[in-house]
Amino acid sequence: METIDLRGLKCPLPALFTKRTLSNGADGLEIAILTDDPMAPIDVPHMCHREGFDVIVVERDGDKARMVLKRPMAWVPAPDPDAQEHPAP
């Protein structure tokens, strides 16, 4: 399992880097991330649930956190809720 050290980065960077890593990884990829952003233990799991990634564990110690996340097998990206369909001319 790869560990990604995101300490020193503030919101929204931990969630963005995590999303990029999981989105570009192979199916079944498990990563652990380390962060000291007090919002990351809220933002990262929220992003994972929205994008369809699995949250295995969230461990907190004050502002420090370790999260284990997984890209499921046969992962399909979640539709973009902000995308607008354009009517045909």
Is 11 among the residues known to form the active site? yes
Q: Which of 4, 7, 9, 11 is catalytic?
A: 11
- What is the pTM assigned to this prediction? 0.82
pLDDT for residue 57: 97
Domain limits, the chain: 2-70
Residue type, 24: N
pLDDT in tens, 51-69: 999 999 999 998 899 999 9
Domain 2-70 matching CATH 3.30.110.40: the answer reads yes
Give the pLDDT mean for 70-84: 76
Residue 63: how many CA atoms within 13 Å on its side-chain side?
A: 10
When pLDDT is cut at 50, 70 and 90, the band that residue 13 belongs to is very high
pLDDT in tens, 31-55: 999 999 999 999 999 999 999 999 9
